Chains A and B, each alone.
Chain A
Amino acid sequence: MILIITKDTEIGRSVKEHTETGNTGKVMLLFGEDISSEERFFEDGEMSSFIYLYHETGGEGGSESGVFRINRILDRYYPDLLLKSDLPETSSGDENVAEFYLKAAAKLPPHRIHILKVRGPVTDSAGKSITAYIGNVIAEGSEKEKRDIERSERDKKIRERAEKLAEEIHASESMKRQIEELVRYSRISGIDFDDMISELGREGLLPVADKKEGKKVLGELQRRICGSAV
Chain B
Amino acid sequence: MENCKEGYAEAPFKHIYIEDDIDVGNLKAVERFRDAGIIRIKHYKDLFNRQRQSFVGQKASPNLIIARKHGKLIYEGSPVCQDFGNKHFYYTSCVMNCLYDCEYCYLRGMYPSANPTIFVNLEDIFDELDGLLKKHPVYLCVSYDTDLMAFEDLTGYVEKWCDFTASREDLTIEIRTKCARKDLWDRLTSCERVIFAYTISPQEIITKYEKGTPSLLMRAEAASVAMEHFPVRLCFDPMIFIKDWKDIYGKMFDEITEIIDIDRIKDFSVGSFRISSGFLKNMRRMMPDSEIAQYPFELMDGFYQYPKELADGMENYMSGLIREKKVDSEIFRP
Contact = CB atoms under 8 A, between A and B. Distances in A.
Interface string B207-225: 0000000000000000000
A8 B199 CA distance: 56
A164 interface: no
Interface in B241-282: 241, 243, 245-246
A85 B8 CA distance: 8
Given A78-B47, A105-B51, A83 B14 contact: no
Given A71-B37, A110-B53, A184 B294 contact: yes
Nearest to B15: A81
Given A71-B15, A78-B47, A144-B2, A178 B313 contact: no
A114 B306 CA distance: 42
A196 interface: no
Interface residues of B, number: 45
B57 A226 contact: no
B50 A228 contact: no
Contact of A181 (B60, B245, B296): B296
Interface string B25-37: 0000000000001
A188 B289 contact: yes
B146 interface: no
Given A78-B39, A111-B54, A227 B46 contact: no
Contact of B58 (A82, A189, A226): A82
Interface string A68-106: 000110011110111111000101000000000000010
A200 interface: no
Given A185-B294, A228-B313, A108 B52 contact: yes
Contacts of B3: 143-144, 147
Interface residues of A, number: 40
A166 interface: no
Interface in B278-334: 288-291, 294-296, 306-307, 309-310, 313
B292 to A, nearest CB: 9
Contact of B54 (A82, A151, A228): A82
Given A80-B58, A82-B1, A226-B295, A136 B37 contact: no
A109 interface: yes
B57 A111 contact: yes
B1 A111 contact: yes
A191 to B, nearest CB: 9
Nearest to B8: A140
Contact of A136 (B8, B54, B246, B306): B8
Contacts of A84: 7-11
B41 interface: yes
A50 to B, nearest CB: 13
Contact of A227 (B9, B11, B241, B290): B241
B88 interface: no
B291 A83 contact: no
A137 B288 CA distance: 23
A206 B117 CA distance: 54
A160 B38 CA distance: 51
Given A151-B288, A181-B296, A110 B52 contact: yes
B1 A228 contact: no
A78 B41 contact: yes
A170 B50 CA distance: 45
Interface in A115-157: 136, 139-140, 143-144, 147, 151
A209 interface: no
Contacts of A91: 39
Given A110-B50, A185-B296, A143 B8 contact: yes
Q: Nearest 4 A-B pairs (CB), nearest first?
A: A228-B310, A109-B52, A140-B8, A181-B296
Given A81-B61, A82-B9, A105-B51, 12 more contacts: A72-B39, A72-B40, A76-B42, A76-B46, A81-B14, A84-B9, A109-B54, A140-B8, A182-B296, A188-B294, A222-B307, A226-B295
8 contacts: A109-B52, A110-B53, A139-B6, A143-B3, A185-B294, A189-B243, A223-B309, A226-B241
Interface of B: 1-3, 6-11, 14-15, 17, 37, 39-42, 46-47, 50-54, 57-58, 60-61, 63, 241, 243, 245-246, 288-291, 294-296, 306-307, 309-310, 313
